[in-house]
Structure 1
């Protein structure tokens, strides 16, 4: 069974369209008979993806640092909720649980998590897919900058090519299965 680790926004201020996107991803993970690993929160996009996945029959594993349990309102309905000491512990467990990694729109936490698993892939520390679901051009500026870094010799073409970027939910999850 494939487990997709999803990174996404956790702030309550995100637009409804992003909550709907997270729900669609959760529904599709469940429809494929897969499991979800995520940051363990029950609000915002985190909560939307987990709730939709569970409602569709997917197993959900949340990983949340002790200090964020109240702040992100830990999802007590998770099939498994792992409470860890640090963000580093969180990222390690989320990576260990995932067969693929999917970044939805998010902020600095999402970026930090995505960059770590992407860097590990480029360094051949794992061979799991790393996918960015770039709806509404959310990552347009970042991807443009990464292209410039490649042109300047700071990022290899191999690194850029190892990151799958799509604006379609089905294509993103298909890439997670690759």
Structure 2
């Protein structure tokens, strides 16, 4: 019986190649999305839909440009515009949410992360989707080494990671203390 529990525990374990920077970040980002949505936040997919639409338009333009007599520099303004929209709105965002159901806040979250190449420091930020809203919370972030959340075999210790991310969500949701 003990062996079966150990087997099922390893089947559900999230394992990653510790030398692959992109897979490390992807694993952590996916786990952050799970944690945030488990706390009652519903993902806002409008930005993803806009990005898919712009990508489709770019592909159509690229196909048209391939067979059109005009060369690349002629359509570069449109391509630059699409890149700027993606860069200014998304930045490093991994998740946009709506406010939780029954919440008094009228704004969702923008969760973003950074894991610079050749670094072990993972930074997670939570900000309001509408920072000018009166119900917007104060932006919060933490930076920690990924070595704290992975075993030497590359298995994510989910309990530790969930604890850190949930503490950050709680910090964001906490009411600011008023000074006397």
State the TM-score, normalized to the length of structure 1: 0.34
Q: Which has the higher strand share?
A: 1
Say which one has the larger Rg: 2
